[in-house]
Structure formats: structure tokens, C-alpha cells
């Protein structure tokens, strides 16, 4: 007897790295894989002129970011997250009016569900998170600023309690949720983001090593990828690069969508603007690099560290939030404190100096990501969770 398909609706915000997950869903469930029929909404696609105008009005800054040493006093974060939720609710209704019916809803991330609380209470729902509001509140520079995130905290809590399952990218995020919402008994599954491994060739590891050993006077290439240059530690990296005179021994490729002030650039630094993810240029930068660095101040998980591992690169990151769950310090990369210039210089020097260490760390990073974030394994685990949530009479179990 043929098992009936479970119709799952995936709602994706479409911003930043979440587009990567949308691409994964599109590919993973083509042809109704694993008994799941998938429909997906990507909120940045197909916006009408009226929706664009409304988004601009609702999400406009009424308080200049950083003015008087504070941000979010205009509740901009809540307004933006509510707008995403409102648009998601509208898109769901449009699909239902066309005759679609869904067995399970999957919201990626929680803000896309903000206006759908009633629906979540009647339709089996999965909420996908990479953090709670803790990241925003930790960066607040006063108690007043921290309190501006209270509406987001309350709405998150309502959504988490109503959901059937919460999928967390990391143990850190799951622990934050349990700590901040002790009355929330919703099951949590720990599932690191899937990585499209077929875009990264494992032979690059030995290719790099041979290049370094066979090229006289070889200068290793250091790669940085981060959209928000300042928040991702870009200027900390440039200061360390200058002070450590690293341009004498290596080159640095900066890939960012932010403008970089030229007065901070020094020897050996090249800036790459407008590089689209998964483009040939993007892939070539990963292939040509010898190590990756992102001394970020604010990172919930860091999908880019997963991509560095998939590319077989050792990575230098910061010891914050879930980053240590991706970088095994001393084994697949090195961790430093945010803003710590001397440790960053030492870490860069260590990896620039040794092709053998780069190769060994890169190989361990690649092995780890294949084991923890293989897209086929993620698809199977997610499909099993969808099937189980759709049939909520089955006993709950923890997925790891």
C-alpha cells in the first residue's frame, strides 16, 4: 500500500543566509522525496509594489542607529519581524484560497511565524531557529535599549510554546531557549544547517598543499567573507594585518557587500565587491584560499564557517555563541576572543607559516562537516520529523 504524501509548506524569510536554506529545500524535496510534497514561500520574492511600499514604511528607522549611543529605541527590530510575519500570513492565505491544503508548516526563522499564532495552534508546525533574541539583547548598550526587545521576546515565547517541534541549528541556541523560556516544553531537535557539499571539491585540500610546497616563495592566501564588514570583525582583521605586517608573507582577500574605507587597507589586501554566493567567482575564491578568517563580534551560528570547512580550509573564528560548535579549536581551526588583536595576529601567523598544519586542519574540518551537515542526511532527518509532526499521535522522541 502506498503511503500518502505529507504536504509541507516551507516559509522562508529570504534574507541573507536563509536564501541558502531555501535553495536546499527546493533541491532536496524535488520529486516528492522521502514521502514529503514540498511547497515553499520565499518572502523576498514576488513582492507587489504595495508590499514594497508597506515594507519601506513599516521597517523605516525612526531612531538613527547608534544615535545617543543606543539603537532600536524605535522598536525597528519588532516592526521588521512583524512585517515578515504579516507577509507570510498573507502568502499562506493566498495559497489556501487557490485550493492548497497543508499537513505541516515549517517556518524558517521564527519571525516569519509572528502573525500566524492561531494557525500554529491548529496546524502541526515546526519552527527553525539559529538563536533567540539573546544576541540582540547582549549587544544592547543600556537597560533601556535591552528592554526594546521585550516585544520580540514575548512573541518568540508564544510561538515556541505553540509549535509542535523546534529545530535548532546548535546546542547553544537550544540551551538559550530552554534557559529563557523554562515553561516551554516543546521538543527541540539539534540539526546544524545542511551544506551543499557538491559545490566544494575535497581534492582542493591536497591541491593547496602541493601548490604551497612546489611554488618558490609561496604566499598563502587568507580569505574573509562577511556582508556586514564592521560587525564581522573586518576592521579588527585589517588592524591585525597591518600591525602584524602580515602582508609581507601572505595576501588577504576581503569579500563583502559593505564599503571598506581605503585608509585601513595595507599591503597584500584585495577587496572583492558584488560576489554572489555560489557563483563561479565565489567558488574560485574558496578554491584558491589557504585559510579562512572571520573575527566576528556578533554571530549566532556562522554558516560561512561551515562553508569554509566544506572547502577544506582551516578557519580562525571567535569564541562566541555557537561558533565553537563548528570550529574545533586546535583541531580544525583556531578560536580567539572578539577584538583581541595579538591573539588574532598569532593565529594568523601560525597558519600562514605551516602548509602541513593548514592541510591537516582543513582535512579534519572537511570530515567534520561531512558527518554533521551532509544534505542527504539532513533531508532524511527533516522528512522524518515532518512525518512525525503530521501524525502527532506518535510518541515524541529527541532528534540529534
pLDDT band at 399 (very low <50, low <70, confident <90, very high): very low
The three cell numbers of residue 121 are 495552534
More confident residue, 138 or 364: 364
Task: Give pLDDT tens digits for 120-141.
Answer: 999 999 999 999 999 889 888 8
pLDDT band at 3 (very low <50, low <70, confident <90, very high): low
Task: Give pLDDT tens digits for 16-53.
Answer: 889 999 999 999 998 777 889 999 999 999 999 999 99
d(CA 282, CA 290): 15
Rounded average pLDDT over 246-255: 97
| Domain 6-194+374-390, CATH number (from 3.40.50.261, 3.40.50.2000, 3.40.50.300, 3.30.565.10) | 3.40.50.2000
Lowest mean pLDDT among 32-46, 157-171, 239-253, 369-383: 32-46
Q: Which residues contact 222 (CB under 8 A, 6 or more apart)?
A: 246, 250, 251, 252, 253, 289, 290, 291, 292, 293, 348, 352
d(CA 169, CA 189): 8
pLDDT band at 289 (very low <50, low <70, confident <90, very high): very high
d(CA 153, CA 162): 14
pTM: 0.91
Is the peptide bond between 399 and the residue preceding it cis, with omega within 30 degrees of 0?
no
pLDDT band at 70 (very low <50, low <70, confident <90, very high): confident
Task: Give pLDDT tens digits for 295-311.
Answer: 999 888 889 999 999 99
**Share of residues in the chain with pLDDT > 70 (%):** 97
Cβ–Cβ under 8 Å, residues 83 and 54: yes
Domain with CATH 3.40.50.2000 in the chain: 6-194+374-390, 197-373
pLDDT band at 322 (very low <50, low <70, confident <90, very high): very high
d(CA 320, CA 323): 6
The CATH classification number of 197-373 equals: 3.40.50.2000
Q: What's the start-to-end Cα distance of the chain, in Å?
A: 30
Q: What is the pLDDT of residue 2?
A: 54
Q: Is the pLDDT of residue 1 over 80?
A: no
Amino acid at each position: 500500500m502506498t503511503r500518502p504524501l505529507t504536504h509541507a509548506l516551507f516559509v522562508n524569510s529570504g534574507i541573507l543566509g536563509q536564501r541558502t536554506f531555501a535553495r536546499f529545500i527546493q533541491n532536496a524535496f524535488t520529486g516528492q522525496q522521502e514521502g514529503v510534497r514540498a511547497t515553499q514561500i520565499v518572502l523576498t520574492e514576488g513582492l507587489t509594489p504595495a508590499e514594497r511600499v508597506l515594507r519601506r514604511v513599516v521597517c523605516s528607522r525612526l531612531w538613527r542607529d547608534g544615535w545617543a549611543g543606543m539603537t532600536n529605541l524605535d522598536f525597528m527590530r519588532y516592526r521588521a519581524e512583524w512585517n515578515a510575519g504579516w507577509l507570510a500570513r498573507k502568502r499562506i492565505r493566498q495559497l489556501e484560497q487557490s485550493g492548497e491544503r497543508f499537513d505541516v508548516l515549517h517556518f524558517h526563522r521564527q519571525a516569519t511565524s509572528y502573525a500566524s499564532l492561531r494557525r500554529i495552534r491548529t496546524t502541526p508546525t515546526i519552527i527553525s531557529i539559529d538563536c533567540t533574541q539573546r544576541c540582540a539583547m547582549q549587544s544592547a548598550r543600556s537597560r533601556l535599549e535591552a528592554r526594546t526587545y521585550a516585544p520580540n521576546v514575548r512573541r518568540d515565547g508564544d510561538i515556541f510554546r505553540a509549535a509542535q517541534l523546534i529545530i535548532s541549528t546548535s546546542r547553544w541556541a537550544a540551551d538559550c531557549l530552554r534557559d529563557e523560556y523554562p515553561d516551554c516544553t516543546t521538543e527541540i531537535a539539534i540539526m546544524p544547517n545542511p551544506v551543499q557539499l557538491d559545490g566544494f571539491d575535497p581534492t582542493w585540500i591536497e591541491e593547496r598543499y602541493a601548490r604551497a610546497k612546489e611554488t618558490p616563495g609561496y604566499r598563502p592566501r587568507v580569505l574573509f567573507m562577511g556582508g556586514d564588514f564592521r560587525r564581522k570583525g573586518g576592521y579588527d582583521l585589517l588592524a591585525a594585518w597591518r600591525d602584524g605586517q602580515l602582508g609581507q608573507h601572505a595576501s588577504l582577500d576581503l569579500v563583502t557587500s559593505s564599503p571598506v574605507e581605503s585608509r585601513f587597507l595595507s599591503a597584500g589586501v584585495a577587496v572583492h565587491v558584488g560576489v554572489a554566493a555560489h557563483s563561479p567567482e565565489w567558488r574560485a575564491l574558496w578554491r584558491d584560499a589557504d585559510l579562512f578568517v572571520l573575527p566576528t563580534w556578533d554571530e549566532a551560528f556562522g554558516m560561512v564557517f561551515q562553508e569554509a570547512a566544506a572547502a577544506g580550509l582551516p578557519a580562525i573564528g571567535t569564541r562566541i555563541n555557537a561558533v565553537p560548535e563548528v570550529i574545533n579549536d586546535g583541531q580544525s581551526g583556531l578560536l580567539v576572543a572578539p577584538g583581541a588583536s595579538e591573539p588574532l595576529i598569532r593565529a594568523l601567523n601560525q597558519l600562514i607559516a605551516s602548509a602541513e598544519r593548514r592541510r591537516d586542519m582543513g582535512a579534519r574540518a572537511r570530515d567534520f562537516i561531512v558527518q554533521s551537515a551532509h544534505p542527504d542526511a539532513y533531508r532524511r532527518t527533516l522528512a522524518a520529523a515532518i512525518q512525525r509532526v503530521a501524525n502527532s499521535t506518535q510518541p515524541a522522541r529527541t532528534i540529534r
